[in-house]
Amino acid sequence: MKPFRFTCACCGETHQGLPAFALDRPPEIHALPPEARAARGRVSDDFCALLPEGGEGAPRMWIRTVMILPIRGEDETLEFGFWLEVSNEDFDRYLHSFDGEQDGMSCRGVLSTDCEVYRDFGIEGLACTAEWFTEARPLLTPDMAAHPLARDWHEGVPPERAAQVAAAYLHR
């Protein structure tokens, strides 16, 4: 496989290969002050919950997923470790089947994770379907065909946009 090479808009160097783009927690939790994060946030590699302020109401819940986008004319793909906000019911179903069989299961949710380059297109709130797997993280399919991220998912990311994402991530 030919690695993706690009001239970096940040440092001017030529970089080779792409990292997997992921945040260790959803931006909603990242944005909290440390005391609130400690008191109300529950974070692991695959699950995340934000307990309601004052203990009233339902918690918000996320699962860690993967979205893979082809890059036009390239062998390499862009791989995002997006957090997907899901219903409490789907979260429980996912949690309780996590150590067992998950092939053929799925849920819907909305993207939470911010991404520098797609931010202007309103990536947060994009509805997606997550297909679950026993041996791998859930794989996302965007529901809205008209969304710029969904279009890139279908048609391939222009190489310039892939280079922008990588430069923003490598030099954050």
> Residue numbers of the site for Zn ion (CB under 5 A)?
8, 10-11
Closest-approach residue to Zn ion (CB): 8
Q: Which is nearer to Zn ion, 10 or 20 (CB)?
A: 10
Tell me the CA distances in angstroms from 24 to 47, 162, 165, 170, one per residue in order.
10, 21, 17, 15
Least distance in Å: CB of 158 to Zn ion? 19
Tell me the sheet residues that pair with 33. none
Q: Please, what is the minimum distance in Å from the beta carbon of residue 5 to Zn ion?
A: 12
**Closer to Zn ion at the Cβ: 10 or 68?**
10
* Residue among 2 and 172 whose Cβ is closer to Zn ion: 172
The span from the CA of 144 to the CA of 123, in Å, is: 11
What's the closest the beta carbon of residue 59 comes to Zn ion, in angstroms? 39
Nearer to Zn ion, 43 or 168 (CB): 168
Q: How far is the CB of 10 from Zn ion (least distance, A)?
A: 5
